[in-house]
Structure 1
Amino acid sequence: MSLAALSPVRPSASISVAPTPAPAQPERRLRAVPEGTEPRGFALYVGIDEAAAAAAGTDLPGIVQALKRALADLAPGAETYAAVALAPAGSGGRDVDVVRLALQDPAALAKHRQSAPVPAAPEPHGGVVIDISRKRVLLDGETAPLTYKEFELLQFLVLREGRTIDRHEIIATLWGEGDDEETPNERTIDVHVRRLRSKLGAYEDIVRTVRGAGYRFDRHADVAIRYASTPSPDVF
């Protein structure tokens, strides 16, 4: 008789192994958000000119529409707003940096101000000094009698130098909720601009009317701007 026949048969033991839990995915967090604020959206800056878009077989409106469709798939309730960045022909630097500066990105503005040469101070009794740090305007050494809202209007244009600002944007920014003054319409904005110009006297043409488009700040050789040490609130 074989030894195999005499050996007792033992039932095979089943060993159960608990599945290894998948590693927890780290929570994606935004950078520290200041207390009392909450994220309400984001800005995605895209640096591409018309020639580069055409070389890729598309154009800027096509890219915008494709991005909007992608966002509609990800978050159907999301609202979008697209703005095209305009810059002087031949502007140097990376496309995305030019775009950020043209669209008034706060970090890009701060970097630009740090790298830009400080303009020489004008003569004490000549020219225009727009002093954002002290909220005043000096005309040939004398303080111009601007109201708070008139200075806000001038500052709004100065901080967006190179852009033509339409009346609707001025109203939406300078006459927001909680403002004590009655919100003007687009026609009465012209009245506010006329009053501002009248107080600028011989230098009224630093606030330029772009027919059919809005207003813009024109810097002259006799105009100096003194920026505040911290970013102006209306930039944000």
Structure 2
Amino acid sequence: MSNTALLERPAAPRHLRAVPSAPAAPAATPVPAATPAAEARALPAGTAPRGFALYVGIDEAKAAASGVSLGVLVDALRRTLADLAPEAETYATVALAPVGSGGRDVDVVRLALHEPSAIARTKADEPEDEDRAPGGVVVDISRKRVLIDGESAAFTFKEFELLQYLVLREGRTIERTELVGSLWQNASEEESPGERTIDVHVRRLRAKLGRYEDIVRTVRGVGYRFDRHADVSIRYGHGTPSPDRF
């Protein structure tokens, strides 16, 4: 999926607007509105609503068939929300999934963005990582660690961030400039590494991966990428960072 295509903006994007509902016919039996107390009972104790997530399942081809793009849809929804609730804050993210992923688009999106109930349903049908053979590499994003053949590897924080960044963007080639801008975005000009310094970090990362060093591929003249690998399993935790955002 092309990130450039996602961010294209036509000159006059469509604008979704709230449509006033038609007057409802009198109901034979009035349904009482939910009371605040009833709503409170439906929530876990000590919690309060702070917003919502709307998962939208549509790929670029289907959007194009409707004469729009994913970026246009995001803009339209944001403008509609700004009309209805100007004080609302928004955040949009793109769900990336391997080409050819089966299932309903919305289910693929929920799983790609690590929506808790979608993850829970998948895990119910799979053995826990701890029950699997210890061989191979486990990238444990929930605990910020890497296991190699069952043993914890001595990765530095930055080395783990680098591997995690590539793993979460599986199948996409990441340029050195993007790695510098994303992993050192809060660093001062003196602390921020040059593009070639990224090569040094990758060499150290590969050295610690040992015989599994090829899971981090070099794309000559461009950067690095992680492809699905039989020797690698990934443990996601709640709050795992989404791979790409608008």
What SS does structure 2 have at the residue aligned with 1:130? Answer: strand
Residue 44 of structure 2 is aligned to residue 32 of structure 1: yes
Instruction: Give runs of aligned pairs for residues 82-93 of structure 1, distance below 5 A.
Output: 82-93=92-103
C-alpha spacing 1:155/1:52, structure 2 compared with 1 (3 Å) = closer
| Secondary structure at the counterpart of residue 137 of structure 1 | strand
Q: 1:101 — aligned with what? A: 111
Identity of aligned residues (%): 52
Give 1:198's aligned residue: 207
Q: What corresponds to 1:44 in structure 2?
A: 54
Q: CA–CA distance in 2 between the matches of 1:197 and 1:111? A: 34
1:73-128 Cα distance to aligned partner (Å, 9 max, x none): 022243433333233333211111111222333332333333346785255xxxx3
Tell me, what secondary structure is at the counterpart of 2:106? helix
Cα offsets for 1:193-215 (capped at 9, x unmatched) = 44322322342222345679875
Which residue in 2 is equivalent to 1:225? 233
Partner of 1:162: 170
1:139-172, CA deviations, whole angstroms, 9 ceiling, x for partnerless residues? 5x765432355345535654x3626475345457
Q: Which residue of 2 aligns with 1:179?
A: none
Label 1:143 to 1:91 Cα distance change in 2 as closer, same or farther (>3 A): closer
Which amino acid in 2 is paired with 1:150?
E
Matched to 2:44, the amino acid is: A
Gaps of 5+ in 2: 1-31
Alpha-carbon separation, structure 1, partners of 2:34 and 2:170: 46
Residue 130 of structure 1 is matched in structure 2 by 138
Query: Aligned equivalents of 2:139 and 2:234: distance in 1?
Result: 5
For residues 22-73 of structure 1, give each alpha carbon's deviation from its aligned partner in whole angstroms, at most 9, with x where no partner exists. x7763466843766x983x433211123444345454433322221110110
SS across alignment from 2:93: coil
Cα distance 1:48–1:155, how it changes in 2: closer, same or farther (>3 A)? Answer: closer
* Aligned CA-pair RMSD: 4.5
For residues 117 and 90 of structure 1, what CA distance do their matches in structure 2 show?
A: 24
Q: Distance in 1 between matches of 2:220 and 2:88?
A: 34
User: Match of 2:214, SS?
Assistant: helix
Amino acid at match of 1:69: R
Deviation at 1:131, TM superposition (A): 6.4
Local SS of the residue matching 1:220: coil
* RCO higher in structure (CA 8 A, sep ≥6): 2
Instruction: Measure, in 2, the Cα distance between the counterparts of 1:208 and 1:184.
Output: 26
TM-score by length of 1: 0.57
Following the alignment from structure 1 to structure 2, what is the Cα–Cα distance between the partners of residues 161 and 212? 19
8 Å Cα contact 1:47/1:95 also seen in 2: yes
Would you say the 8 A contact 2:159–2:205 is kept in 1? yes
Q: Aligned partners of 1:99, 1:192: CA distance in 2, in Å?
A: 32
The amino acid of 1:201's aligned partner reads: G
What is the alpha-carbon distance in structure 2 between the residues aligned to residue 184 and residue 107 of structure 1?
40
Specify the structure having the higher radius of gyration (Cα): 1
Q: Distance in 2 between matches of 1:208 and 1:156?
A: 13
Q: What CA distance in whole angstroms lies between the structure 2 residues aligned with 1:121 and 1:109?
A: 21
Q: How does 1:63-82 map to 2 (within 5 A)?
A: 63-82=73-92
